Chains A and B, each alone.
Chain A
Amino acid sequence: MQNAAPTLRLEGVAKSFGPVAALRSGTLVVQPGSIHALVGENGAGKSTLVKIVGGVHRRDAGVVELDGEPVDFTGPAEAKAAGVAVIHQEPASFPDLTVAENIYLGREPLGRFRRIDRRAMRAGARELFRDLGVDLDPDRPAEGLSIADQQIVEIAKAISLDARLLVMDEPTAALSAVEVRRLFAVARGLRDAGRAVVFISHRLDEVADLCDTVTVMRDGEHVSTDPVAGVTADELVRRMVGRAVSDLYPKVPSTPGEVVLRVEGLQSTGTFHDVSFEVRAGEIVGLAGLVGAGRSEIARAVFGVDRYDAGRVAVDGRTLRPGDPTAAIAAGLALVPEDRRLEGLVTESSVARNVSAVSRRRLARLGILLPDAEARLARDWSGRLAVKAGALDAVATTMSGGNQQKVVLAKWLATGPKVLIVDEPTRGIDVGTKAEVHRLLSTLAAEGLAVLMISSELPEVLGMADRVLVVREGRIVAALDRADATPETVMRAATPGASSERGDAA
């Protein structure tokens, strides 16, 4: 296969949006029957490159070839017809249609009298899933499918369209370990069938595990392309950031103080049960577990945006009113939520308004909020966190994920919290910013903040946490000290069906 024309060849592709050059010189050669990793920091130009390949944007300059033929897509439909499929991180499906209907949407097999042949549709979907080696019911509605299953549906759709090139844009960001394994098996199956796969990820362990070739991009330009076997993760990181990142998890040792957050017997029927734990000042407690184990739900209940049926939450010994985030904030709680764009910030608002969102009441004098006070607070905190924005009135939508996350952190740190709950603090943000966030959390803990960190990235939990609580199916099933927490002990406790001793939550 290697001597045939590459499935995809990009050479010197450039794209600017007004004065901003998003892509200066994109070069990427993907062979059929291979899985090609594309890595780089946020803003490196990966998304722009993918959008050009997928027909969303038109390039300003450069060469794009599919199977040796030059192409110039004017829309996503053309790209699709030419055999290019882009699988998004969180695919959009029609919740009211069944899985099979979603796969065949717009090109349903027709039977007699031009009626939709549901039987053929179902059989086709079933066959696609069998080929992919996954177990999904074609008749269930798409509503309530996990993100992982939605991606599988998208992949099935791409295969039914006979896509030669599948681009997966950070597919694993929201997936649990088990789901990642299944996705990898599917990707390998596609590779063995001679299709080309482009895999975009921030997780270098996944790249090493899955891909055969890796291309690094930085600042809109191609940096290097190597066989995965011939390059170390450290070397990749160095190329991505253009400097050495000595340590992704700069853990500062700290001595835990008094108990600040105490959660006792918290229960929300059907979601989590009998959840008890405490977080001390100066301590980072990791909440590990599979996606869907109930970790985020616990955090939301503690903070008060969700209600709970039983139990209590206390900060500094004072019990919080359930379901009242305002009271929780007043008591010193802060939550950096899982979904940055929906819950973390008001994306239509400026940096200044987002940073001051929770501190407004405190900033107001005699009930009047002056723009000056707002700007001062925002400038102070965005400076401390090194937020990169053109101006304080820059709208959050224009910023990269990493910078958005810094704004969310600035917003909460400006309230002077005692307990900071962070839910997937580094999801979808680049390596450089990730290290900055880790350093920040570590420093804050050393200064006496109590931190509760939810993360699906095991290295992050193990690297940052003083103690790890493992949540499985809505219960805390293990409490591990830093010394005892290894990938094996955490995963064994987190995975249903795996043997695990029930540790007492502390």
Chain B
Amino acid sequence: MRTHARPWWQRALLTREMLTILILVAAWVVASAVVQGFDGPLTITYLVLDVAPVLLIALPMTLIIATGEIDLSVASVVGLSSVTFGLLHQAGFGLWVALPASVLLGAVCGAVNGTLVAYGGLPSLAVTIGSLALYRGLAVGLLGTTAVTDFPESWTDGATENLGESPWPVVTLGLVVLIAVFAVLLHATPFGRNVLDIGRSSEAARFSGVDVKRTLLVLFVLSGAVSALAGVYYTLRYGSARGDNATGMELQVVAAVLLGGVSIFGGRGAIHGVVAGVLLIGVLSSALRLEGVTVNVINIVIGTALVVSVVAPRIAGGLRVRRRPAVGQGS
């Protein structure tokens, strides 16, 4: 039997992910031609620095959405980890202690979500809307309206400085490593296969011996830990630990993941599509910002793009069904 029904180039090019990549390239080309100052080296620097937290969080979010679940508490974990990092620093702990401690706290936050979803059998949407409020409340409660800002310059500079003379920030290296790790995890490990199977049919996965509950717990813990890491980065990048850091970022993350071709119903998605989705949102925002467009309008654009990306496949699917009724399964 043949391994594939279609030749390799069709399988590589005719994908939902490739569509996002094409739109990203088109957006880049148009912005470079039209937007004054977009083609400068600073664009790359700021693009990477700006999208880094969203990109980080989008990686585990891809896996969670691929199982058909969702984690809306990520931005609150960013806030909570930022505050923890700041308070530990204020209390005199070294940042090499504060960093892992904050990430650990994020993992615990994720474990709480994961336990309630996987072992409590509760819908992740409800659980993580609850913990969104809970973790944000804790973050703001711990630090009030004040901020911790006196971080050592070696750390804050490290979060923003470039690789030698290149326009690429040092953090790019870390991002690339994590992207690779998550891409391998989703696409080339038994664990990743199980994740997609759960999204397609968790019942069938269970009957194949997949520990669905443990898999979900692991994903939520990963999501919490990576969100906390993003929280530390966010703190250093802006040199400020605040309880309201990254408020509302969960929407950008979910938007990027869905724009990247991950099905909100679970069962399909790819890391390279999500990276393109994150960059697409980044390019749109920075181009519009350079044009002097306000944040509200940028949100409208991103929101519209998100709705279209969710609705379009449905419409396209509907049209395909109309033209060619589903192949009869015989009698």
Contacts and interface: CB of A to CB of B under 8 A. Distances in A.
Contact of A47 (B2, B3, B197, B331): B331
A368 interface: yes
Nearest to A359: B190
A348 interface: yes
Contacts of B294: none
Contacts of A223: none
B4 A391 contact: yes
A358 interface: yes
A397 B4 CA distance: 16
Interface string B1-24: 111110000000000000000000
B197 A57 contact: no
With a 10 A CB-CB cut-off, give which of A51, A349, A383 has the most chain B CB atoms.
A349
A489 interface: no
Nearest to A392: B3
Contacts of B273: none
Contact of B331 (A45, A342, A369): A45
Interface in A330-389: 335, 337, 342-349, 352-353, 357-358, 360-361, 363-364, 367-370, 375, 379, 382-383, 387, 389
B96 interface: no
A394 B201 contact: no
B329 A398 contact: yes
B331 A49 contact: yes
Nearest to B197: A346
B272 interface: no
A18 B324 contact: yes
A325 B206 contact: yes
A346 B204 contact: yes
Interface string B259-271: 0000000010000
Given A347-B201, A349-B197, A398-B329, A361 B4 contact: no
A302 to B, nearest CB: 13
Interface stretch (B28-36, B46-54, B163-171, B207-215): B207-215
Contact of B207 (A50, A305, A352, A401): A305
B189 interface: yes
A382 B1 contact: yes
A392 B331 contact: no
A379 B3 CA distance: 8
A42 interface: yes
B193 A337 contact: no
B324 A44 contact: no
Contacts of B188: 368-370
Contacts of A353: 193, 197
Interface string B263-285: 00001000000000000000000
B234 to A, nearest CB: 31
A43 B327 CA distance: 11
Interface string A71-112: 000000000000000000000000000000000000000000
A398 B330 CA distance: 10
Contacts of A352: 3
Nearest to A357: B208
A40 B206 CA distance: 34
B328 interface: yes
Contacts of A271: none
A113 interface: no
A391 B327 CA distance: 16
A325 B207 CA distance: 7
Nearest to A342: B203
A44 to B, nearest CB: 6
B193 A360 contact: yes
Contacts of A196: none
Contacts of B203: 342-343
A379 B188 CA distance: 19
B205 interface: yes
Contact of A398 (B192, B267, B327): B327
Nearest to A56: B325
Given A44-B330, A361-B190, A389-B1, A368 B205 contact: no
A56 to B, nearest CB: 9
A393 B5 contact: yes
Interface string A3-26: 000000000000101101010000
Contacts of B193: 353, 357, 360, 369
A61 to B, nearest CB: 16
A329 interface: yes
B330 A45 contact: yes
Contact of A400 (B189, B201, B324, B329): B329
A162 to B, nearest CB: 27
B237 interface: no
B207 A335 contact: yes
A379 B1 contact: yes
B11 to A, nearest CB: 8
B209 A329 contact: yes
A17 B328 contact: yes
Contacts of B1: 379, 382-383, 387, 389, 391-392
A42 B328 CA distance: 11
A468 B193 CA distance: 39
A160 interface: no
B181 to A, nearest CB: 12
A46 interface: yes
A22 B329 CA distance: 9
A31 interface: no
A331 to B, nearest CB: 11
A48 interface: yes
A492 B120 CA distance: 44
Contacts of A48: 328, 330-331
A326 B211 contact: yes
Interface string A206-221: 0000000000010000
Contact of A44 (B2, B3, B331): B331
Contact of B327 (A20, A325, A335, A411): A20
Q: Which of A20, A369, A370 has the most CB of B within 10 A?
A: A369
B209 A326 contact: yes
Interface in B60-75: none
B184 interface: yes
A299 to B, nearest CB: 11
Interface in A388-413: 389-394, 397-401, 411
A163 interface: no
A445 interface: no
A364 B201 contact: no
Contacts of B267: 348
6 contacts: A47-B329, A50-B331, A335-B207, A343-B203, A370-B188, A391-B1
Listed from nearest, the 7 A-B pairs whose CB atoms lie closest are A46-B331, A43-B330, A47-B331, A360-B190, A391-B5, A22-B328, A391-B2
Given A47-B330, A368-B189, A411-B208, 5 more contacts: A44-B330, A46-B331, A348-B200, A360-B193, A368-B188
Interface of A: 15, 17-18, 20, 22, 40, 42-51, 57, 200, 217, 305, 325-326, 328-329, 335, 337, 342-349, 352-353, 357-358, 360-361, 363-364, 367-370, 375, 379, 382-383, 387, 389-394, 397-401, 411
Interface of B: 1-5, 184, 188-190, 192-194, 196-197, 200-201, 203-211, 267, 324-331
